[in-house]
């Protein structure tokens, strides 16, 4: 469990299905994805993360707003294919009613700090479709810089943002 000023990040449970389905089935939230998720994809999403916790010790974690106890999104680390390499990626999805309040970057900063403190990765990435301004603005907000722009079957063009352990340590000084 990770705690920040306004949030708790914890592992998903099957009780979270309806709440995350509401977020991932929303067309506006998912406009940079091929299409919004159906219930089966939301179920697979939780199953994939439960598997990742066991396999790697991390995954996307449920993001809970402390004030209300509500699940407002997810954020965490998964291994993603970024231009042909399997790399640790910080991912985030926040319910649209909470966008632009600093919650996505608050969660992502906590995940960044957790990952550098608890894994041996020297680089952390975020990648996204080139049109996903909210996503790359969040990557920049947590200290990442654009390291790659590449053609991608899924996204047309993808951007990869990243930061190094050294940059993270310098930020803490």
Binding site for ligand COA (CB under 6 A): 29, 32, 92-94, 99-105, 128, 132-135, 137-138, 141
* Closer by beta carbon to ligand COA, 83 or else 120: 83
Give whichever of 86 and 120 is closer to ligand COA, judged by the CB atom. 86
- Minimum gap (Å) between residue 15 Cβ and ligand COA: 21
- Shortest distance (Å) from residue 14 CB to ligand COA: 22
* Local structure of residue 38 (DSSP, 8 states): -
Phi and psi at residue 132, to the nearest 5°: -85, 75
Least distance between ligand COA and beta carbon 4 (Å): 12
Q: Are 52 and 78 in contact (CB under 8 A)?
A: yes
Residue 11 main-chain phi, psi, to 5 deg: -65, 150
- Rounded to an integer, what distance in angstroms lies between the CA atom of residue 39 and that of residue 43? 6
- Of 101 and 146, which CB lies nearer to ligand COA in the complex structure? 101
Q: What tokens appear for 15 in the block?
A: 């009780």
């Amino acid at each position: 469990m990770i705690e920040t000023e306004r949030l708790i990040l914890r592992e998903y449970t099957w009780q979270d299905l309806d709440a995350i389905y509401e977020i991932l089935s929303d067309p506006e939230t998912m406009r940079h994805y091929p299409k919004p998720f159906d219930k089966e994809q939301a179920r697979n999403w939780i199953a994939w993360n439960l598997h990742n916790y066991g396999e790697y010790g991390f995954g996307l974690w449920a993001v809970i707003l402390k004030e209300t106890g509500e699940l407002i999104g997810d954020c965490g680390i998964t291994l993603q294919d970024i231009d042909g390499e399997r790399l640790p990626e910080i991912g985030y999805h926040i319910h649209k009613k909470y966008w632009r309040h600093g919650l996505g970057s608050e969660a992502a900063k906590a995940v960044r700090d957790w990952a550098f403190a608890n894994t041996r990765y020297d680089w952390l990435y975020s990648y996204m479709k080139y049109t996903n301004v909210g996503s790359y603005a969040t990557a920049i907000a947590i200290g990442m810089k654009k390291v790659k722009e590449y053609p991608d079957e899924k996204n047309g063009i993808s951007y990869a943002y990243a930061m190094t352990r050294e940059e993270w340590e310098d930020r803490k000084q």
